[in-house]
């Protein structure tokens, strides 16, 4: 993998459209590169943007562009399924324990993807797809373009790969504690007939296996954090208004330690021509110019891409490439989109 481009910013400012437009343009300018566009917003809209059903599978959109709208549950299920198997074989190793049907039911209900927090599920997927060593598909992508959710949830995606290990440890310990409680309840009911947890060897085996699983996740977390740090490029999208500009400033500060910011998109600007013969548009443009100036001054070390509001919705290949031309200009090269600085 060569480059990971991430689009972030406040809700509704054009992140998904700019993400898709950039992917389309790159696929045209760099036909030898394999590009994957991923939506990390639960409210996926790649299907609408590309006017093609995408969903939770890597779907080919043109000769060198693929898209996916992942369902984080499926990736969390992979993980819980493996741990579930280990828990079950563990319970069967303990005398009498495996004969108690309630234990099986308990393990099944306590340890499923529903009990994992959404942010953790997303992070599991984020890591899995970025971790080239663990891709569950055959295509080796050169460029990944990711459409991130609005800022709060975006930060969670960056943070979790680092903190994921803590989350998993806490989660697993909670689970083991619940098992222990259940076993104690059974022991109380059955008196001293059974004392399953006295079998230290089995407990140690389980401990080893769980620690091994945690270690794998930890290593993946480290690989992915390094990958994002090394080849990641963040672009923040804003409109020329105070709230979304303030959010870009905050997002920049909050993401600094995870990923390099390369540029700012100022989107949906009122076209110059319409400002000429519309009083309201002219006023709006004046306000926008004030914010463009502020943003340009504050982010003078970064690339600023300005894009006007188009006369029609930028959807489908044609609409998206029109938006790309509006953002980058017709003379742009793949190199300049990938490495703007």
Of the candidate spans 16-24, 113-121, 136-144, 267-275, the one that interacts with Mg ion by CB under 5 A turns out to be: 16-24
- Site string (41-70) toward ligand ATP, x via CB under 6 A: x---x-------------------------
DSSP labels, 6-36: EEEESTTSSHHHHHHHHHHHHHHH-TTS-EE
Bridging pattern class, strands 143-147 and 303-308? unpaired
Instruction: Compare residues 111 and 245 and give the one whose CB is closer to ligand ATP.
Output: 245
271 binds, among Mg ion, ligand ATP, none (CB under 5 to 8 A by kind): none
- In contact, 323 and 18? CB cutoff 8 Å: yes
- Rg of the chain taking only CA atoms, in angstroms: 25
Instruction: Compare residues 70 and 196 and give the one whose CB is closer to ligand ATP.
Output: 70
In 3D, which of 77, 58, 61, 78 has the Cα closest to residue 69? 58
- In contact, 144 and 38? CB cutoff 8 Å: yes
17 binds, among Mg ion, ligand ATP, none (CB under 5 to 8 A by kind): ligand ATP
179 binds, among ligand ATP, Mg ion, none (CB under 5 to 8 A by kind): none
Residues between 286 and 325 that touch Mg ion (CB under 5 A)? none
| 17 touches ligand ATP (CB under 6 A) | yes
Residues between 267 and 326 that touch ligand ATP (CB under 6 A)? 267-268, 307, 309-310, 313-314, 323
Q: Report the interhelical angle of 200-231 vs 118-130 (nearest 10°).
A: 70
Of the candidate spans 10-18, 119-127, 257-265, 332-340, the one that interacts with ligand ATP by CB under 6 A turns out to be: 10-18
DSSP label of 141: -
Residues between 206 and 235 that touch ligand ATP (CB under 6 A)? none
Site for Mg ion (CB under 5 A): which residue of 10, 16, 288, 323? 16
Query: CB of 253: closest distance to ligand ATP in angstroms?
Result: 20
Query: CB of 271: closest distance to ligand ATP in angstroms?
Result: 10
Q: How far apart are CA 223 and CA 329, in angstroms?
A: 36
Instruction: Compare residues 26 and 269 and give the one whose CB is closer to ligand ATP.
Output: 269
11 binds, among Mg ion, ligand ATP, none (CB under 5 to 8 A by kind): ligand ATP
Through-space distance between the first and last CA atoms of the chain, rounded to whole angstroms: 19
Site for ligand ATP (CB under 6 A): which residue of 14, 70, 196, 221? 14
Site for ligand ATP (CB under 6 A): which residue of 4, 8, 16, 34? 16
210 Cβ contact partners less than 8 Å away, ≥ 6 residues apart: 83, 86, 172
DSSP label of 59: E
Query: CB of 146: closest distance to Mg ion in angstroms?
Result: 11
Sign (positive/negative) of CA torsion 117, 122, 123, 129? positive
- Describe the strand order of the beta sheet including 232-239 as a list of residue ranges: 59-62, 65-68, 35-39, 143-147, 3-9, 232-239, 261-269, 303-308
- In contact, 7 and 40? CB cutoff 8 Å: no
Site for ligand ATP (CB under 6 A): which residue of 15, 25, 220, 285? 15
* Cβ-closest position to Mg ion: 16
Which tokens is 13 given?
A: 């400012």
The H-assigned helical ranges of the chain are 15-29, 46-50, 72-93, 101-110, 118-130, 151-190, 200-231, 242-255, 272-276, 279-298, 316-328, 334-338
Query: CB of 45: closest distance to ligand ATP in angstroms?
Result: 6
Instruction: Compare residues 14 and 196 and give the one whose CB is closer to ligand ATP.
Output: 14
Instruction: Compare residues 143 and 268 and give the one whose CB is closer to ligand ATP.
Output: 268
- Point out which residues pair with 66 in neighbouring strands: 36, 60
Give residues in contact with Mg ion (CB under 5 A).
15-16
Give residues in contact with ligand ATP (CB under 6 A).
11-17, 41, 45, 150, 267-268, 307, 309-310, 313-314, 323
């Amino acid at each position: 993998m060569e480059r990971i481009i991430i689009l972030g910013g406040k809700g509704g400012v054009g992140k998904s459209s700019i993400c898709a437009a950039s992917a389309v343009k790159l696929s045209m300018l760099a036909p030898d590169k394999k590009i994957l566009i991923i939506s990390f917003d639960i409210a996926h809209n790649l299907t609408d943007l590309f006017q093609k059903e995408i969903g939770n599978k890597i779907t080919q959109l043109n000769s060198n562009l693929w898209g996916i709208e992942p369902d984080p549950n499926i990736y969390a299920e992979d993980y819980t399924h493996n741990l579930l198997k280990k828990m079950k074989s563990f319970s069967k190793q303990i005398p009498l324990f495996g004969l108690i049907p309630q234990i099986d039911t308990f393990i099944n209900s306590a340890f499923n993807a529903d009990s994992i927090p959404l942010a953790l599920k997303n992070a599991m997927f984020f890591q899995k797809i970025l971790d080239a060593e663990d891709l569950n598909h055959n295509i080796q992508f050169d460029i990944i373009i990711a459409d991130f959710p609005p800022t709060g949830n975006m930060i969670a995606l960056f943070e979790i790969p680092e903190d994921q290990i803590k989350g998993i440890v806490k989660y697993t310990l909670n689970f083991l504690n619940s098992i222990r409680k259940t076993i104690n309840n059974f022991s109380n009911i059955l008196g001293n007939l059974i004392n399953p947890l006295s079998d230290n060897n089995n407990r140690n085996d389980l401990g080893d296996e769980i620690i091994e699983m945690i270690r794998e996740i930890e290593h993946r977390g480290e690989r992915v954090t390094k990958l994002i740090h090394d080849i990641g490029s963040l672009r923040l999208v804003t409109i020329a208004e105070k709230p979304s500009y303030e959010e870009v400033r905050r997002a920049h500060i909050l993401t600094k330690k995870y990923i390099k910011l390369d540029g700012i998109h100022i989107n949906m600007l009122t076209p110059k021509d319409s400002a000429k013969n519309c009083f309201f548009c002219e006023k709006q443009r004046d306000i926008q110019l004030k914010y463009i100036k502020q943003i340009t001054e504050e982010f003078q070390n970064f690339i600023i891409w300005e894009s006007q509001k188009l006369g029609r919705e930028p959807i489908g290949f044609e609409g998206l490439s029109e938006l790309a031309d509006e953002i980058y200009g017709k003379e742009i090269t793949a190199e300049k989109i990938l490495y703007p600085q």
